Each structure stands twice: as C-alpha cells, then as structure tokens.
Structure 1
C-alpha cells in the first residue's frame, strides 16, 4: 500500500471565492503555527494572482492522506 500526503491551504479572495494551494509531501509532523504564519505571509505579500481575485484572508489548512493499493 502506498500513501500520499498533501497539505491544502485554502484562502478567500476579494471576490469572496475560495482558492487552494496544494503542497505535496509536507515536512512531518506539520506544525500548525508555522502553517498559519506562512498563510498570513502569503496574504500579506500578495504573491499569487488568480482569476477568482486577490487573496485577502486565510480560510483553512488541511492535511490530506490517501492510501492506494494495486489490485492487479
């Protein structure tokens, strides 16, 4: 069985839309304070542009782990 872990950072834009940044294979264990600080920095520096608008607020951070097993 193979496991894959990603960190999903969700933000709100000035158009009230959600955008997501996905980070593959985050360093374990994930430090919640460091994630929040990084998300605040992304909002503050305004480094990403999206068709949905400019990021203005952090919404959520989720660690997603998926397992897969080859059948044949």
Structure 2
C-alpha cells in the first residue's frame, strides 16, 4: 500500500550566510504562509535553535516536500 509522506521545510539564513532547514512531518494544509512567517520570526528571535552552520538570523523560505513511500514485505 502506497503512502504519501509530506514534510514542511522551514529554511533559515544563518550567521555564516548559509541555509539551515528545520523539517516538520505531516503539515496542516493549506499552509498559512503568514502564520509560518510569524513562527519563523519567533524562532529566530528566541535563539532556540543553533545549527552547525551558525545561529539562525532570518527566515529564507518555506516549502512542502511530498514523497511516495511504497513498503514491501520480505518473503
């Protein structure tokens, strides 16, 4: 049985100018971009996350990734 898996990716610019991503499974759709922007601004302001690429300094983008998963039973 095929399963459609979706992930919401929040992309941030770090202090080194690189991109860092926070992924969330099974996002509520349709995505409310205004609410996501507010949440991303709060994440940056709180300094709650630190990546290997440095501190998060600003939101860059948001996207939903879809993938099909087909599990198989081993005989």
**TM-score normalized by the length of structure 2:** 0.84
Gaps of 5+ in 2: none
CA positional deviation for 1:51: 2.0
Tell me the C-alpha RMSD between the 2 structures. 1.5
CA positional deviation for 1:71: 6.7
Gaps of 5+ in 1: none
- Alpha-carbon distance between aligned partners in 1 of 2:3 and 2:37, rounded to the nearest angstrom: 29
Q: Tell me, what secondary structure is at the counterpart of 2:9?
A: strand
- Alpha-carbon distance between aligned partners in 2 of 1:62 and 1:52, rounded to the nearest angstrom: 20
